[in-house]
Amino acid sequence: MEKDLPILQSRIHEALQDRQLQANLEKNLKRSSRGTQRERIIQSTPDWERLREYGRQVKEHTLGRLPEYLEELEKNVVSLGGKVIWAQDAEHARNFILQLIRDRDIRSVVKSKSMTTEEIALNPALEREGTRVVETDLGEYIVQIAGQKPSHILGPSVHLSKDQISDLFYRKHGPPKLSRAEELTAQARQRLRQEFLRADMGITGVNFGIADSGTLVLIENEGNILLTVSKPRIHVAIMGIEKVIPRLEHLPNFLKLLIYSASGQRISSYVHLVSGPRRPGEIDGPEELYLILLDNGRSRILSDPFLAQTLSCIRCGACLNSCPVYQNVGGHAYASTYQGPIGAILTPQLESLEAAPDHPFASSLCGACGEVCPVKIEIPQILLKLREKIRLGKDRKSGSIQLQKLAFQIWVWCMQRPERVAGVRRMIRIGQKILLRKGHRFPPVPFLRRWMRYHELPGFPEKTFREMYAEREGS
């Protein structure tokens, strides 16, 4: 029966049945202290709600003037000696980087964690080109050598246990077999050092692009970004166009919003402000800086004033961490670059509704995501809007959607008058009695059958409320 399930449902089923994954999610997500750290620091921040409103407003304002701010950013980056490339889609972005690699004779690349590079499927393209690509963020390095995709936008290896990582390192690095997190980290540190020193190019994402100064803000804890922009002679930074913020003075509040929400830290170990390539006379740093502004569907999302708030996302991961669906199935079940609640709203919009028609339905609409979002994206409302769009979209003529629509039309007709509801109820009672006599307990209505896979049904009450109330009044 599971084979007939749409792809998302079957991946969710696999995830729920995967005992190792369930144990890992329990330990790394549900029981990790990250959630409580976030709660603690937010509780000690009396102005948190005002900060969120600030974040929402700045983002809303910026999105309303996005072309102007991007032009300002471009002008200032260029004035600092950087180059700006506008990439309308993934292919353009990849091709630019590949051309640069050929032109500059780039043999090896070090990368820091960047969801935009996942989005444009950069690594496979570089590898096909024969370029050595090494992920330097520990979580990304782990999934890279495991041949997997990241499963969380901040903690790419959250789906793996320490033992699995230990086995992985042993298989890929050779003996000795290390078992402690400190040892495994030290081994990665030692191996990656050489990569930072030999790489010709460093590729990073961008957390915030500051329009008025042309500064690229890169946030990290490990120090791999620092090393990525130290020795390699070229720095390529790929930024989704929605990541721009107007002024440097906005940065402190956004740092709080992002970092408190992501990990509950007061600040990350490193916040880097990159302003162009190295200055003449500076002793190290990249000689060239390329900022790639990536559209890839974002301009389309921008055109709907309500849905545009999807682009406010600052990629903190708090919605993932608070989502009971994500916590139970992990990131791979989504089979898309972005996972969790933000993935559920971004994927159908960035790609197409038809590419991810079940993502917006994989939610009980509990609202935990909207509650934690530092920039107040109304994720549950967007999920509802997408549900509507899917049903009105390209697949609207499909059998199942037509049937569902008919069911709701009947339901509406019924609900217009209490007498109609009473009539339907009488029919159900009669139908139930007939079926009982024939030995069936309940009608083989599809949704009822699904319900009964896991739930026992209680009896259908003899009387409705209004019948009981009327009797009481009568007596």
- HSE (side-chain half, CA atoms, 13 Å) at 449: 5
d(CA 266, CA 257): 10
Task: Choose, by CB under 8 A, the member of 73, 87, 153, 345 that binds other proteins.
Answer: 87
Task: Choose, by CB under 8 A, the member of 21, 134, 153, 227 that binds other proteins.
Answer: 227
Q: Which long-range contacts (CB under 8 A, 24 or more apart) does 53-59 make?
A: 53/376, 54/253, 55/253, 55/254, 55/257, 55/312, 55/314, 55/374, 55/375, 55/376, 56/312, 56/375, 56/376, 58/245, 58/246, 58/250, 58/254, 59/245, 59/309, 59/311, 59/312, 59/375
CB of 374 to other proteins, least distance (A): 14
Per rule CB under 8 A, is residue 173 in the interface with other proteins?
A: no
Q: Which helix (DSSP H) or strand (DSSP E) does residue 114 occupy?
A: none
Per rule CB under 8 A, is residue 304 in the interface with other proteins?
A: yes
Q: In this structure, what token pair is assigned to residue 180?
A: 């402690």
Q: Is 371 helix (H, G, I), strand (E, B) or coil?
A: helix
Per rule CB under 8 A, is residue 226 in the interface with other proteins?
A: yes
Q: In this structure, what token pair is assigned to residue 54?
A: 């600030």
Alpha helix stretches (DSSP H) within 44-89: 48-64, 66-79
Say if CB 272 and CB 229 are below 8 A apart. Answer: yes
Taking the alpha carbons of 261, 265, 270, 275 in that order, is the dihedral positive or negative? positive
Task: Choose, by CB under 8 A, the member of 7, 20, 67, 443 that binds other proteins.
Answer: 67
CB of 242 to other proteins, least distance (A): 10
Task: Choose, by CB under 8 A, the member of 148, 149, 361, 432 that binds other proteins.
Answer: 361
CB of 130 to other proteins, least distance (A): 26
Using the minimum distance from each CB to other proteins, give the nearer residue, 130 or 159: 159
Per rule CB under 8 A, is residue 34 in the interface with other proteins?
A: yes
60-to-227, 242, 375 alpha-carbon distances in Å: 34, 11, 9
Say if CB 236 and CB 202 are below 8 A apart. Answer: yes
Stretch in the footprint of other proteins (CB under 8 A) among 124-132, 161-169, 337-345, 347-355: 161-169
d(CA 307, CA 131): 39
The letter for the amino acid at 117 is T
Instruction: List the interface residues with other proteins, window 91-110 (CB under 8 A).
Output: 92
Instruction: List the interface residues with other proteins, window 406-465 (CB under 8 A).
Output: 408-409, 411-412, 414-418, 421, 425, 447, 450-451, 453-458, 460-461, 463-465
Stretch in the footprint of other proteins (CB under 8 A) among 118-126, 199-207, 295-303, 335-343: 295-303
Q: In this structure, what token pair is assigned to residue 79?
A: 């004035």
Per rule CB under 8 A, is residue 115 in the interface with other proteins?
A: no
Per rule CB under 8 A, is residue 318 in the interface with other proteins?
A: no
Instruction: List the interface residues with other proteins, window 339-358 (CB under 8 A).
Output: 358
What is the widest separation between alpha-carbon atoms in the chain?
97
Instruction: List the interface residues with other proteins, window 228-287 (CB under 8 A).
Output: 229-231, 241, 246, 248-249, 251-253, 255-256, 263, 266-279, 281-285
Per rule CB under 8 A, is residue 139 in the interface with other proteins?
A: yes
Using the minimum distance from each CB to other proteins, give the nearer residue, 102 or 463: 463
Q: Is 98 helix (H, G, I), strand (E, B) or coil?
A: helix
CB of 439 to other proteins, least distance (A): 21
Instruction: List the interface residues with other proteins, window 363-392 (CB under 8 A).
Output: 363-368, 370-371, 384, 386-391
Using the minimum distance from each CB to other proteins, give the nearer residue, 170 or 367: 367
Total residues binding other proteins (CB under 8 A):
158
